[in-house]
Structure 1
Amino acid sequence: MPVAPTRRRFVKAALLATLAPVLARAADTPAAAGGFGPQSTAEEVTRGLDLAGRTAVVTGCNSGIGFEIMRVLALRGAHVIGTARTAEKGREACGRVQGRATPAVLELTDFDSVVACATRIERMDVPVDMLVCNAGIVLGEHQQVDGLEKQFVVNHLGHFLLTHRLLDRVREAPQGRVVVLGSGDHRRAPPGGIQFDSLSGEGWHARGYSHSKLANGLFSLELARRLRGTRATSNCVSPGHVRTNILRNVGNGYGKNARTVHQGAATPCYVAAHPALAGASGGFYRDFEPAEQSEHQTDAAMAARLWAVSEALTRAYLG
């Protein structure tokens, strides 16, 4: 039997009313706004952006996602200061970039090196518009630095110190952004979250990478809280499963479904530079929109405690 026009209008109106909240949420997400997804590349998500006059610091610039982030930000006009563990690696990487890229030495296990790197950047006397904490390691065995589990030192503590030393430069920018590369693997951290009573890794080192990624997320969360009331922001980003040199110590990993570095660098570049994220802070992003987190990574008390412990462990170098 034909449906009367008035009934059709009623059904259509009811359906739209039901879908309205869903459609509104979708329209509000960066992914929906830009039409980007897991297959999008860093070049695609930054197309049309003019970053001339802006300065970016990217750690781990000599390979993988870090190199691609540096390459694309420089391609869009930013002056990128790319850090690598040696001067040779930094010069070689920056020499392959179209645009302006300046190498700097940064060995995250050596806090004197972190201070020297930060001091060099500070002496350039420019605001830091984008600080991308990308460098990291994945270990297949238990290693320590001065009694601390090594992945915790490299992936979190070294970046904590670098960010602390450069924070005034980030605040000086018109809209400074700190972007910390985390991982969905933070959900596999040891039971209880950050192992404050045993940071040596004893008994939990097999989950050391996940532990360090949880630390990344908590650091970004607490930094965002401390930046409230300023123009600066802090966000954590998961690049997804990307097969890069970071896996050299644990085998190839991830298999044939891994993303390319061009795709893995997309969300970090988006969060670092896209106008859609202006003012957004305290988030955890994957594929251009807020991603699922564990209860530990959203634990404000744990984040505050990690900050205090990190300060205590680096106190002699904070300046």
Structure 2
Amino acid sequence: MSAEQATAGLDLRGRTILVTGCNSGIGLETMRVLALRGAHVIGTARSPEKGRAACAGVRGQATPVVLDLADFDSVRACAAQVRRLAPRLDALVCNAGIVLDDWERVGGLEKQFVVNHLGHFLLVEQLLDTVVAARGRVVVVGSGSHRTAPPGGIQFDRLSGEGWYPRGYSHSKLANGLFSLELSRRLRGSGATSNCVSPGHTRTAILRNVDEGYRDDARTPAQGAATPCYAAVHPAMAGVSGQYLADFRAGEQSALQRDAAMAARLWQVSSDLVRGKA
């Protein structure tokens, strides 16, 4: 099923939705379809040129904002700009991400953990009150790759990546799932929700930094964006929170991604890291 099919018949006029990584792949298709349905989509990209080009290419209302998830000052600046554009967010789709084939660090931390998890953690933290004000939805794009995270899960004692960096993407995707889980707990009673979704094996530009190819059964971005769009706007997801979805239903996940204690610890550690306290 495509994202257009997953949102068929929906009228999103009057809604404002933030999508990270709007310039290509799943993010671009998510923005395109939600704007097509009438939403005002705020799309983030690392450069103003890429963001403007992406937003100009969709039918409907799309506004570009610069966001570099590896730079916490950029995350805070992005959040401030989003606040000026929209006092309420009906959905925040944490889609942007990277895959690396070598050991890279940002501020001593493994880079995929920083970009795929910490940057989004800070962005959501900065904008969470605007989501709650709209009784909105946070959608975190995770991956079935979380099941191949390093043994023991989040490597709290060596977040530099030393010894486990070849599993860095899987580690970051586990962090995405745990973040969404703990966020759902914190949102209880607020009317806002948090869910993690897997788009499936989708052919995008995310593997541009690695030698791995795509399987013959790889999905198109239109298919990969279907579940993120569904989670962000479909009436069937109203009030649903704390779930991990794949193909619109509960997906297979590891015991580690269901570990509430690990999720709570990750939240506290992440909070310290984005504030430079760790």
The alignment's TM-score, normalised by the length of structure 2, stands at 0.98
Which residue of 1 is the match for residue 52 of structure 2?
Answer: 91
Query: Which runs of 5 or more structure 2 residues have no equivalent in the other structure?
Result: none
Which residue of 2 is the match for residue 261 of structure 1?
Answer: 221
Which residue of 2 is the match for residue 315 of structure 1?
Answer: 275
Of 98, 111, 121, the residue aligned with 1:137 is 98
Of 264, 268, 278, the residue aligned with 1:304 is 264
Quote the offset at 1:123 in angstroms.
1.5
Name the SS of the counterpart of 1:262 in structure 2.
helix
Distance 2:227 2:250 in 1: 11
Of 128, 148, 153, the residue aligned with 1:188 is 148
For 1:56-75, what aligned pairs fall within 5 Å after superposition? Answer: 56-75=17-36
Question: How much identity, in percent, do the aligned residues show?
Answer: 70
Quote the offset at 1:316 in angstroms.
5.6
Which residue of 2 is the match for residue 270 of structure 1?
Answer: 230
Name the SS of the counterpart of 2:92 in structure 1.
strand
The answer as to 2:69 corresponding to 1:114 is: no
Distance 2:122 2:152 in 1: 25
Q: CA RMSD in A?
A: 1.0
Which residue of 2 is the match for residue 77 of structure 1?
Answer: 38
Amino acid of the residue matched to residue 15 of structure 2? Answer: R
Is the Cα contact below 8 Å between 1:55 and 1:126 reproduced in 2?
A: no
Which residue of 2 is the match for residue 289 of structure 1?
Answer: 249
Of 162, 166, 185, the residue aligned with 1:206 is 166
Deviation above 4 Å: which 4+ runs of structure 1? none
Distance 1:201 1:136 in 2: 17
CA deviations on 1:155-176 (whole Å, 9 max, x unpaired) are 0000000000000000011x30
Distance 2:84 2:105 in 1: 32
Which residue of 1 is the match for residue 11 of structure 2?
Answer: 50
Is the Cα contact below 8 Å between 1:42 and 1:72 reproduced in 2?
A: yes
Is the Cα contact below 8 Å between 1:243 and 1:253 reproduced in 2?
A: no
Is the Cα contact below 8 Å between 1:60 and 1:135 reproduced in 2?
A: yes
Quote the offset at 1:125 in angstroms.
4.0
Distance 2:212 2:164 in 1: 23
Quote the offset at 1:256 in angstroms.
1.3
Distance 1:256 1:118 in 2: 39
CA deviations on 1:126-183 (whole Å, 9 max, x unpaired) are 310010000000000000000000000000000000000000000011x300000000
Quote the offset at 1:211 in angstroms.
0.1
Which residue of 1 is the match for residue 176 of structure 2?
Answer: 216
Quote the offset at 1:89 in angstroms.
0.3
Is the Cα contact below 8 Å between 2:16 and 2:86 reproduced in 1?
A: no
The alignment's TM-score, normalised by the length of structure 1, stands at 0.86
Is the Cα contact below 8 Å between 2:91 and 2:137 reproduced in 1?
A: yes
Quote the offset at 1:251 in angstroms.
2.8
Which residue of 1 is the match for residue 2 of structure 2?
Answer: 41
Distance 2:241 2:214 in 1: 30
Quote the offset at 1:255 in angstroms.
1.9
The answer as to 2:207 corresponding to 1:247 is: yes
Of 135, 155, 162, the residue aligned with 2:116 is 155
Name the SS of the counterpart of 1:310 in structure 2.
helix
Name the SS of the counterpart of 1:48 in structure 2.
coil
Query: Which runs of 5 or more structure 1 residues have no equivalent in the other structure?
Result: 1-39
Distance 2:35 2:23 in 1: 14
Amino acid of the residue matched to residue 125 of structure 2? Answer: H
